[in-house]
A and B are shown apart, each in its own frame.
Chain A
Amino acid sequence: MSATTAPRSSIPGRAKDQSASAALGRRRARTDGIIRALCTIATVLGLLFLVSILATLLVKGASGISLNVFTDVTRPPGSHGGLLNPIIGSLIQVALATLLGTPIGLLVGTYLAEYAGNGRFGQVVRFVSDVLLSAPSILIGLFVYQLLVLPFGGFSGWAGVVALAIIVIPVVVRTTEDMLRLIPNTLREAVIGLGAPKWKMVVLVCWRAAISGIITGVLLAVARVAGETAPLLFTSLGNLNWSVNLSQPMSSLPITIYSYAGSPYEDWITLAWTGALIITLGVLGLNILARAVLRARR
């Protein structure tokens, strides 16, 4: 009896189930499709921003590129100046900041990877370094202003170098520690087993094994500080005259772009775009190079 009634009553029911589940399936597929489309649009939007920035820089900056930009110093508006002193000033400050910050960052990263273990001190240092990595760079500038500019009587290239070096340190720390942690422990054991002291293990074996990662970190740090403007506002200030004296205010590309872009003079604004193009190509080039170094060794 139930065998005869059950199928009869369940047939329309199953049909209803089927149409309901088909509708559910369609709705699920539709939701999925809409969200996938939105996510694709989001990615296109992100890429569009990068393309728009690069295109703007090329359109507005490329026309101003000439030999003059690289060979002539900054001059008053209307007299066809170049960007030689900002470029040289930036190169000097970034190079010295990298030379100053890299060894410290390297040693801190080595400490975290090779010595700290799971100790409290290491955890605190790692945490603070990571916070400094994302801390507002303008505050580093204010700090160095208080530390070096006020007590030592004025803005100077050295103060700019120190401010940028402070920004270099946490970048190098992060990459150094990450890269050293990738080295297998068997390598360390092999070196110690041969009777080498630990410092030789670190310097001759671990650093050498991690060299591509460390270079990547340094390149990324250079790229980061090359475009920094805010910390230099309070330290090396900028200098419209030719000067390579580090105890005087020193010109830099980002600061010059900042003051030229905000000026009312057409030719200064064009130079600002040219400077912006140079610096962006440099920074993005360094980033791509850093990735290539890392990939080449793997």
Chain B
Amino acid sequence: MAQVAIPEVLPSLPARPAPRRGASAGDAVFALLCRGSAALVLVLLGAIIIELFMGGLPAFRAFGAAFITSTEWDPVQDIYGAGVPIYGTILTAILALLMAVPVAFGIAFFLTELAPAWMRGPVGTAIELLAAVPSIIFGMWGFFVIVPLMAGTIQPAIIDTVGELPVIGSLFQGPPFGTGLFTAALILAIMVLPFIAATMRDVFLQVPGVYKESAYGLGATRWEVMRGVVLPYTRVSVVGGIMLGLGRALGETMAVTFVIGNANRITASVFGPGNTIASIVALEFGESAAGSLKLSSLLALGFLLFVISFGVLALSRWLLRSRLKA
């Protein structure tokens, strides 16, 4: 009945103006622009993969699968292998995480549970600003401040103590150059620290207050709440945050180039010099002629770095998908 009444009312309204033709055309154009830009992002990723692979193809052809494991890098005989840079990249990144993760956790715990409310904003911002400092600044600071400190104090101390121990001692021996894999890992750790800490803080903040309050209500201490409630609740996202840091550490270039010592050999000691994929590309690129096998090898290294870091970052995003996007 009510449905019948409506048509009787409608004719008395002013005739609905026909939509102007511009409107639907404008909609179509704008939607196309947005969709096209979105497609461009995918094209960009595809183009990066293809260009790096095509650039590296001559090197892959010349050396085959052995390119990945070979530790030779001999521009005189035109023989190149990715073994040493891959080893350096992975070793420094993992050492960096070992150093950064506990500190990042401490900062996130402090910022979410321990710090007084007035302190959380400014301290959190300061930590985030550390993430904004350009890579090259970390490199200069590392080279002119940390390297002398390592050579003069820290490395001799470690060599005299840990270096004397059986088995693991051999990892911490050798002359204290100051530069080297360990110093590179330390700088990387400081660089990824704010990324991991900020992600951990954000996911810790998403734990429903009721859960924590019930644990506090049972008399739990703050650490017990963190270990028993917050960490189990956020475990997956915390790993995602650590993976995000790993992805950053793998591809870091300028800071590492300053402090790693740049030698293409695998040393038993973490104090020895080495290189990473990013550092060897940055350093050797200037001495590679266009079209040479050396340049192709550098592009092949770039392709390998892309594959490694894409995998790590994809894993990180997948682990973080549920919590960060809520």
Chain A positions near chain B (C-beta within 8 angstroms)? 28-29, 31-32, 35-36, 38-43, 45-47, 49-50, 52-53, 56-57, 60, 104, 107-108, 110-112, 114-116, 121-122, 124-125, 127-132, 134-140, 142-143, 146-147, 150, 166, 169-170, 173, 195, 197-200, 202-203, 223-224, 226-230, 233-234, 254, 257-258, 261-262, 272-273, 276, 279-280, 283-284, 287-288, 291
Contact = CB atoms under 8 A, between A and B. Distances in A.
Contacts of B251: 135-139
Contact of B145 (A52, A227, A284): A52
A287 B305 contact: no
Given A57-B137, A146-B54, A108 B38 contact: yes
Interface string B183-214: 00000001001100100000000000000000
Contacts of A284: 129, 132-133
Contacts of A279: 134, 137
A122 B247 contact: no
A272 B254 CA distance: 14
Contacts of B39: 125
A132 B135 contact: no
Interface residues of B, number: 91
Contacts of B35: 111, 115
Give 3 closest A-B pairs by Cβ, nearest first: A136-B251, A227-B134, A42-B106
Contact of B130 (A49, A57, A233): A49
B102 A35 contact: no
Interface in B104-128: 104-107, 109-111, 114-115, 123, 125-128
Contact of A111 (B34, B114, B306): B34
Main secondary structure on B side of the interface with A: helix
B118 to A, nearest CB: 15
17 contacts: A32-B223, A35-B223, A39-B110, A52-B141, A53-B130, A60-B144, A107-B36, A108-B37, A108-B41, A128-B41, A135-B251, A135-B313, A138-B305, A139-B302, A197-B24, A261-B143, A287-B128
Interface stretch (B153-161, B173-181, B278-286): B278-286
Contacts of A40: 106, 110, 114
Interface in B290-307: 290, 298-299, 302, 305-306
B159 to A, nearest CB: 23
A36 B114 CA distance: 7
Given A143-B47, A227-B137, A43 B221 contact: no
Contacts of B281: 138, 142
A273 B140 CA distance: 8
Contact of A147 (B34, B51, B253): B51
Nearest to B301: A142
Nearest to A116: B38
B168 interface: no
A31 B223 contact: yes
B136 A257 contact: yes
B30 interface: yes
B30 A202 contact: yes
A283 B253 contact: no
B34 A200 contact: no
Given A32-B224, A42-B110, A283 B41 contact: no
